[in-house]
Amino acid sequence: MLKLLNLLKDGRFHSGQDLGAALGISRSAVWKQLQHLEAELGLSIHKVRGRGYQLAMPLTLLDSVEVSAAAPKWPVTILDSVDSTNAEALRAIGQGTPAPFLVLAERQLSGRGRRGRKWVSPFAENLYYSLVLRIDGGMRQLEGLSLIVGLAVLQALRNFGVSSAGLKWPNDVLVGSKKIAGILLELVGDPADVCHVVLGIGINVNMQKADGVDQQWTSIRLESGKNIDRNVLVGELSAQLNAYIERHQLEGFSTLRAEWEANHLWQDRSVSLIAGTSQIDGVVVGIDNQGALRLRVDGVDKVFNGGELSLRLRDDS
């Protein structure tokens, strides 16, 4: 099927006869493969008598040569389909693949966000990106790392025309109230010594419609009006990540704290912090030098951190 998709990806009409000749199969076999493309990958294909077949929208597929040239520091694996790039990265760690390395996919069948939420992952429209790093010296090296990744994603988005993007503690990138990107960090190994961290990033790139999304969302294309080459985006994101990670390693998170707070959309807003069945109401003061959230609760500043916390704007904010 992917050979057929590569023939159609230019968005032009191709006759069934030409497609069959290129693939060495009959026209009826071409028709069956087209049906599979629509059913399995969710692609829309126009069928016009006398002209042939055309993808409703041209596709730019991820290309290992282009990505490797754009992000030469990190060996890359590109998959057509995977449960999730983070899960694949964790399997590769278990098999002894040396870090750093990068895993990308055209689609995810079981994409995940924080707290087990589903991440909708249509074929060849968005970016599903997992970078694996080896961490020596224990958990202190991870302080504020997820927030650093957020800054890198934010800068990449702004360089692609999404000037109004901002951050939401701890791991979301929003445009107004609409989510455009999310971050999921997963740790494996000995947190007191040598471990690996997977920096999972999902960015809505060219998606214009989606079923099954349980929150407001947007994409680079919807915000910029332009179709984005995801290979170029991988290069820009990788460059930003490399720069921020190097600065984090050399200087620590405290030197980037002010930059993060300046880009926090909910700074000084009234919020509710949800932890299981508990709710704490307060006003966002900022973050501390470890990346924990600082809330003013009943006139007292308190610090909160943890992967299961959820932050929501209050109605009176």
Distance CA 221, CA 204 (A): 8
Q: Closest by alpha carbon to 303, among 273, 262, 264? A: 273
Q: Closest by alpha carbon to 86, among 73, 106, 105? A: 105
Q: Which of 114, 168, 221, 230 is catalytic?
A: 114
- Is position 117 annotated as part of the catalytic site? no
> Is 294 known to sit in a ligand binding site?
no
Using CB atoms within 10 Å of the CB of residue 246, give its burial: 0 to 12 exposed, 13 to 18 middle, 19+ buried. exposed
- Beta bridge partners, 102, equal 76, 131
Q: Which of 179, 221, 230, 257 is catalytic?
A: 179
> Is 84 known to sit in a ligand binding site?
yes
Q: Closest by alpha carbon to 189, among 139, 228, 225, 226? A: 139
Strands 178-189 and 194-203: antiparallel
> Is 85 known to sit in a ligand binding site?
yes
> Is 179 known to sit in a ligand binding site?
yes
Distance CA 121, CA 108 (A): 5
Q: Which of 27, 32, 134, 312 is catalytic?
A: 312
- Is position 140 annotated as part of the catalytic site? no
- Is position 230 annotated as part of the catalytic site? no
- Beta bridge partners, 82, equal 108
Q: Which residues are annotated as a binding site for biotin?
A: 84-86, 108, 112-114, 179
Q: Tell me the catalytic residues.
A: 114, 179, 312
Q: Which residues are annotated as a binding site?
A: 84-86, 108, 112-114, 179
